[in-house]
Structure 1
Amino acid sequence: MTSGFLIKDPRTRAGLRLDAAAGSQERLAFLNDASTRIGSTLDLAQTCREVLDVAVPRCADTGGIMVQERLITEGEFPVRPTDGSALVRRVATAVAVDNPWDWDTAFPVDEVAVYPPFLPQGQAMATARTVLVPRLDESVADEIAKAFGRDVIARSLAGCSFLVAPLLARGNVLGFFVLVRQPCSEPFQDGDVALVEELAARTAICIDNARLYARERRTALTLQSSLLPTGLNAPPGLEVAYRYLPAGDLAGVGGDWFDVIPLAADRTALVVGDVMGHGVRAAATMGQLRTATQTLASLDLDPAELLYRLNRVAQQLDLDQIATCAYARHDRTTGTVEIASAGHLPPMLVQPDGTADILAVTPGPPLGVGTDTFDLATFALPPGGLLALYTDGLVEGREWNIDEGLAKLRGLLTGPPLGIDRICDMIVRAQRPSTDRDDIALLLAKAR
């Protein structure tokens, strides 16, 4: 289910309909089935689609879920609306009727609207209580159509039976869950209220969980992006390009970082690091380590000495997470690059003739682990040569292991010279796993 508008076969209504006379065992079986099918992900829109897929046509001919706009855009609980001013978004709609596209026109998904207090939807949100309308008068249907400026609404709703349940979580109204039965169907009865309220309660919990997840991921991404460089100036003797792609979910949003730091005497530091762990704490740790790296880089230390001191800083910070880091120092005058690694993946070097190799850099322990010194390796970086630094999200995923990923990256770097930005784009397109479960940082530096 990818669309917010679900069309169900109306011919299945008679066999599936759970009416007010259903026994307790049948209702319990329905709710158990709903529990297994609702909330399979922490995606709010997907959760709403799953709810309606369960409810239509089992409970109604059509249904919709409206969620307060501020909850979607900001992840915050809005004040309970009592004056009809609540701004809500239609997240999903499901229909099992003969004229489905009329309902799509009448109630389009993603529409943001206000429901006045005189409407059942507005009443449910204002009072935080379920509203049952056995049959909607034609005059009220006309008023709704006028309020939204669509005549098709009056044709679709006149004579229908309504059941509108507020979505309540933590004492707050998240929105409402509306079910509609057409004039040809039996109207809702008092016996239906308890069942729909139980379904609405479970829906609200799932929506609230999705809200919390989305807010934490948004916070982590905002923090992470604020701590990364927004633009890198071309250092002496180098052309640089980079790509940073956040993970597709909170479980992968972590602490990948990169930096290009000008040093004295035509030297430049190139840094890529990865904090282990995920979420806001990993992003905050990344910010601390990036700041410490920049401070130590101002001393123009060789990479091995810098990582030794950075490791001591990491231990003094008493961080819960450990991190890996590759630090390179390019010297324009000598045409060389010195590299040291704190548990990080090996850089790759592309020669001017297009031959790519994995550099033999001995990795020391990750930052925050042990007190060992780090080995320093020195390589020539001639004009036209290219150095590639990256994080494990680029070479490791469910589709391939890290050795296969390294081989693929080496193959992509091998070949005729291309523009450095074009190389970045080509690598990310080819190497990013389809699951997007980890951050990706890629930094390329080409000698002029």
Structure 2
Amino acid sequence: MARGYPRHFGGRTSVNPGFLIKDPRSRAGSRLSGATASQERLAFLNEASTRIGGTLDLAQTCREVLDVAVPRCADAGGIMVQERLITEGEFPARPNDGAALVRRVATAVAVENPFDWDRAFPVGEVAVYPPFLPQGQAMATARTVLVPRLDQGVGDDNAKAFGRDVIAKLLPGCSFLVAPLLARGNVLGFFVLVREPSSEAFQDADVALVEELAARTAICIDNARLYARERRTALALQSSLLPARLKAPPGLEVAHRYLPAGDLAGVGGDWFDVIPLAGERTALVVGDVMGHGVRAAATMGQLRTATQTLASLDLDPAELLYRLDRVADRLDLDQIATCLYARYDVAAGTVQIASAGHLPPVLVRPDGVAETLPVVPGPPLGIGSEQYELCEFALPPGGLLALYTDGLVEGREWNIDEGLAKLRALLTGPPHGIERICDMVIRTQCPHSDRDDIALLLAKAV
């Protein structure tokens, strides 16, 4: 059984999950040797396939691989991945000498002196392996390198390259096998396995087994890389499209929260906006493009930009949504999008609202009573509505308007009507600070990770 172990830094203890310690006594009965039957090797690979790649977390995948390989294949092992793959999700150009910057993501040992191995090969280290080392050769040639027994010179070269004398003590006499991690013709890093001098040396029959395990590992790492890159792209896109900071409009105090869904993409099409208008008026907008990921975020950005442009024409909410619907139709959207547009007039103390298939806002009156406003919803955007209905309500000083997306009021444990009732109950009562109300609503309404995106915009008349 693998386990992390305590590491001490200045009197503080922590556990490094990337360093796995296995019982060295277990390797005697479980070791796959050169004489192992092909059926047993196939069974090992089948078992490995079920135990690795269950998540899209690169570090977790590497730990799973080493948990499988040590001590079945080796006494110690490590996985190094190119640094640019981890930080940027991109394939760097492969230098001819193999001198690429790589990070040690995980290590596993089944030895009597695990702490020496950790000092020699620390998890998280970023390094360049010179071409005269087996690791550099494997990356440069994209071919597996087998050294039946390492001589003292190789141990000394490694120790000199990384400035750690303990390496020169550990490696001499060990059997060494380095397999490049190849995916779609690119070298992602390398998978290194080591057998101590007291163990049987690696043989040619071991190469095919380790290369197959390395190939499956590389596929899992590449999948994790693609996921991480898409998620970074989506988050960067969405953060650039949503307002980073909202200015306090005339006569209003505003607060907002945005929570992406807890799914793979981690980003979606919900948006909100506060747009200053002429004559001390303010537009409050919330919208929802169904779906998740980069595509939904890109559609959201187009609709948000179009809404801002139309708002500058000083249209009433119904007319604005009518024109936004026409814009959505020209964009040829095949995703359903809803939008609620409200225009607050501080002088009149009123708010005009129109809805394109969106949930109605909740109004909290100055006496603390919350109610759902009877806004008549029109069709979602892009369907081709002839008109949207304009509704007008009083918003006196002390009144609070809550605009939101359906992720706030709909979940596995309740339907929308129940969610709306819970939201009204939360908002009813004595007045609180608007930021505190935001936190309270989010904390209470979305306690689970299996939810949709959530956008919440609160506006309080002052």
- TM-score (norm: length of structure 1): 0.93
1:6 paired residue number: 20
Q: Which deviates more from structure 2 when the two are superposed, residues 287-296 or residues 90-99? A: 90-99
Tell me the equivalent position of 2:395: 381
2:49 to 12, 26, 35: 35
Aligned match of 2:191 in 162, 174, 177? 177
Does 2:338 align with 1:324? yes
CA 84–198 in structure 1, closer or farther in 2 if over 3 Å, else same: closer
Deviation at 1:211, TM superposition (A): 1.5
> CA offsets, 1:74-110, max 9 Å, x none?
1111111333531001111222223333322322222
Q: Aligned partners of 1:357 and 1:99: how far apart in 2?
A: 68
**SS state of the match for residue 79, structure 2?**
strand
The 10-residue stretch of structure 1 (257-266 or 37-46) with the greater mean CA deviation from structure 2: 37-46
Residues 226-265 of structure 1 aligned to structure 2 (within 5 Å):
226-265=240-279
Matches within 5 A, 1:306-345: 306-345=320-359
1:295-326 deviation line (CA, Å, top 9, x unaligned): 22122222222222211221121112121111
* Counterparts of 1:92 and 1:85, CA distance in 2: 20
Runs of 5+ in structure 2 lacking a partner? 4-15
Q: Kindly indicate whether the alpha-carbon contact (under 8 Å) linking 2:365 and 2:399 is maintained by their aligned counterparts in 1.
A: yes
Distance 1:436 1:182 in 2: 47
Cα-to-partner distance string for 1:226-259 (whole Å, 9 max, x where unaligned): 1222222111100111222334444452211111
Do the aligned partners of residues 106 and 246 (structure 1) sit closer, same or farther apart at CA in structure 2, a change above 3 Å counting? farther
User: Residues 11-37 of structure 1, C-alpha deviation per residue, up to 9 Å, x if partnerless?
Assistant: 321222222211111111111111222
Amino acid at match of 1:303: P
What is the SS of the residue equivalent to 2:304?
helix
Contact 1:258 1:443 in 2 (8 A): yes
Question: Which of these residues, 442, 445, 453, is aligned with residue 428 of structure 1?
Answer: 442
Deviates more, 1:318-327 or 1:241-250: 241-250
Q: State the 1:401 CA deviation.
A: 4.5
- Pairing of 1:297-446 with structure 2 (within 5 A): 297-398=311-412, 401-435=415-449, 438-446=452-460
- Counterpart CA distance in 1 for 2:264 and 2:386 is 33
Are the aligned partners of 1:399 and 1:433 in contact in 2 as well (CA < 8 Å)?
Answer: no
Secondary structure class of the residue paired with 2:393:
strand
Residue 233 (structure 2) pairs with residue 219 (structure 1): yes
- Aligned with residue 165 of structure 2, among 122, 133, 151: 151
Within 1, Cα distance between the matches of 2:413 and 2:202?
A: 50
> Which whole-Å CA distance do the structure 2 matches of 1:22 and 1:267 have between them?
79
Q: Count residues in correspondence.
A: 448
SS of the counterpart of 1:421? helix
Which stretch shows the higher mean deviation, 337-346 or 321-330? 337-346
Q: Which residue of 1 aligns with 2:13?
A: none
Deviation at 1:183, TM superposition (A): 2.2
The alpha-carbon deviation at position 282 of structure 1 amounts to: 1.4
Q: Are positions 1:209 and 2:223 aligned together? A: yes
The one-letter amino acid paired with 1:152 is V
1:291 paired with 2:305, answer yes
Name the aligned partner's letter for residue 219 of structure 2: I
The aligned counterpart of 1:79 is 93
Q: Secondary structure at the match of 1:379?
A: strand
Q: Judging changes above 3 Å, is the alpha-carbon distance between structure 1 residues 432 and 109 closer, same or farther for their aligned structure 2 residues?
A: farther
**CA 53–398 in structure 1, closer or farther in 2 if over 3 Å, else same:** farther
Contact 1:216 1:250 (C-alpha < 8 Å) held by counterparts: no
TM-fit CA distance, 1:139: 3.4
**Residue in 2 aligned with 1:68?**
82
Matched, 1:99 2:96: no
Give the Å deviation of 1:290.
Answer: 0.8
Query: Higher mean Cα deviation, 99-108 or 317-326?
Result: 99-108
Q: What is residue 46 of structure 1 aligned with on the other side?
A: 60
Query: Map of 1:114-129 to 2, 5 A cutoff?
Result: 114-129=128-143
Please give the alpha-carbon distance, in whole angstroms, between the structure 2 residues aligned to 1:74 and 1:29. 36
Gaps of 5+ in 1: none
Q: Which amino acid aligns with 1:193?
A: V
Separation in structure 2 between the aligned mates of residue 14 and residue 158 of structure 1, nearest angstrom: 22
SS of corresponding position for 1:277: strand
2:168 is the alignment partner of 1:137? no
Q: Is the 8 A contact 2:409 2:419 kept in 1?
A: yes
Match of residue 194 from structure 1: 208
Deviates more, 1:117-126 or 1:342-351: 342-351
Give the superposition deviation at 1:114. 1.0
Tell me, what secondary structure is at the counterpart of 1:239? strand
Q: In 1, Cα distance between the equivalents of 2:106 and 2:175?
A: 19
CA distance in 2, matches of 1:193, 1:271: 61
> Which string of whole-angstrom CA distances, capped at 9 and with x for unpartnered residues, describes residues 122-167 of structure 1?
1111111101122222332233223222233333333222111001
Counterpart of 1:141, as a letter, is G
Structure 1 residue 372, shift from structure 2 partner: 4.8
Of 148, 159, 163 in structure 1, the residue corresponding to residue 177 of structure 2 is 163
Q: Report the more deviating stretch, 375-384 or 60-69.
A: 375-384
SS of the residue aligned with 2:291?
coil
Contact (CA 8 Å) 2:364, 2:370: kept in 1 or not?
yes
Letter in 2 for 1:231: R
Amino acid at match of 2:171: L
Change (3 A) 1:443 1:26: same
* 66-75 or 353-362: bigger deviation: 353-362
- Provide the secondary structure at the position in 1 that maps to 2:78: strand
Q: CA RMSD in A?
A: 2.1
| Residue 197 (structure 1) shift | 0.4
Maintained 8 Å contact 1:364/1:372? no
Range with greater deviation from structure 2 (188-197 or 392-401): 392-401
Asked whether 1:268 is paired with 2:282, we answer yes
